[in-house]
Amino acid sequence: MDKRALGTSGISIAPLALGGNVFGWTADEATSFSIIDAFVARGFSLIDTADVYSTWLPGHTGGESERIIGGWLKRGGRREAVHIATKVGMDMKAAGKGLSRAHIIAAAEASLRRLGTDYIDLYQAHIDDNTVPLEETLEAFARLVEAGKVRAVGASNYTAPRLAEALATSDAKGYPRFSVLQPHYNLVNRALFEGALQKLCLTENIGVIPYYALAAGFLTGKYRRPEDLEGKARAGTVAHYLDPRGLDLLAEMDKIAARLGATPTQVALAWLIAQPGVTAPIVSASTLAQLDDIMEAPGLALDAAALSRLDRASI
C-alpha cells in the first residue's frame, strides 16, 4: 500500500488512521484488540487516541482508550508496527486540563504509562488554550521531543490565525513545529477546514488527519430517519444531519456507490482522501464488519464526475 508523508513529522503512513475514541466505549477490550489486529494486518499503522477518552462515560476518568492500546502492546502487539498518536488539553477532571507547561509534561508522562511505551509518535494539542502563552505550550512540547518521549507534535481544533502564530513562534524560538493538524472535516462539515486553514496546511506542508470523517456515522448511510437513531450512542450528534441537505447528499452517495460497486462509507472516505492536503482521515470502528468496510476506502478511486457531484451535493 502506498504511504504518505505525514507533513514534516518524519512519519509516513497509509491513507487511513484508526480512531481510538471507541476503545472502552462502544468496543470492549477484546473487540478493540481484534480491531487493532485486523487494522495492522492490512498494512495500516496510525492509531489516534487522547487522554480524555472516555471521560463522558459514568465511572470513567480518562485514559481508558490509552490503557486498551497499552494492553494490546503488552499482549504482544508489535510497537514498531504502529504509530501512536495521542492528545492533551481537554478536561481530565481531577488530573487537570489546558496547555500549560506543567500540565503537558505531567499528562505526557501519564499517557506513556497507560500506553506502556517509552515514546509517543505524535503528541497533539487537543484544543487551543489562549489562557497560556503559545511560547510556554511549544516549549513544553519541545522538552518532550528533546527527551525522546515524543517524535513529532501536532494540533487539533486550531484556527488558521492561531496555527500560523504557533508556527511563527516555533520558528522564532527554535522549537519543533506543529507538523500535523487534526481538524473537524468531512462531506457535511467542510467550512471549518476549507479556505484559510487548508491553504495554510498546503503552504506549510502540514499533514492533515481529519476527525469525524464519517460525521459520527451519518455518512455510512445507516441513519436516514429519526427512528434509526433510537438507542444509539451517537444519536445526539447525528440528529442534526437528518435534514434535506444531508439526505440529498446520502442519495447522491448512494448513486455513486452503486455505480462504483462500493459503499457510502467508502465513498465518503475516498472523497476525503482525495482532498488537497489530507494525509489520512481518522475513522473509528466498533466491530470488525465496520472495519472491513472502512479499510476498502483507500483502494477506491473516485473519478472526476463523482468528485464533482459530491462537491456540489455537499456545499
φ and ψ of 249, to 5 deg: -65, -45
Assess contact for 92 and 52: CB atoms under 8 A. yes
Q: Please state, in angstroms and rounded to a whole number, the distance separating the CA atoms of residues 129 and 107.
A: 15
Q: Please state, in angstroms and rounded to a whole number, the distance separating the CA atoms of residues 95 and 109.
A: 12
φ and ψ of 34, to 5 deg: -65, -40
**Distance set, CA 116 to CA 33, 119, 194, 195, 313 (Å):** 15, 9, 37, 39, 45
Cell numbers for 215, please give them: 460525521
Catalytic residue among 53, 123, 185, 223, which? Answer: 53
Of all residues in the chain, what percent are helix, strand and coil, respectively (each to 5)?
Answer: 45, 15, 40
Cell numbers for 183, please give them: 481538524
Helix axes 160-173, 134-146, angle to 10 degrees: 60
Look at the chain and count its residues: 315
Cell numbers for 204, please give them: 506549510
Q: Please state, in angstroms and rounded to a whole number, the distance separating the CA atoms of residues 111 and 66.
A: 7
For 20, the 3-state DSSP assignment is coil
φ and ψ of 171, to 5 deg: -65, -40
For this structure, is 53 an active site residue? yes
Q: Please state, in angstroms and rounded to a whole number, the distance separating the CA atoms of residues 286 and 35.
A: 8
Q: Please state, in angstroms and rounded to a whole number, the distance separating the CA atoms of residues 163 and 284.
A: 26
Which residues are designated catalytic? 53
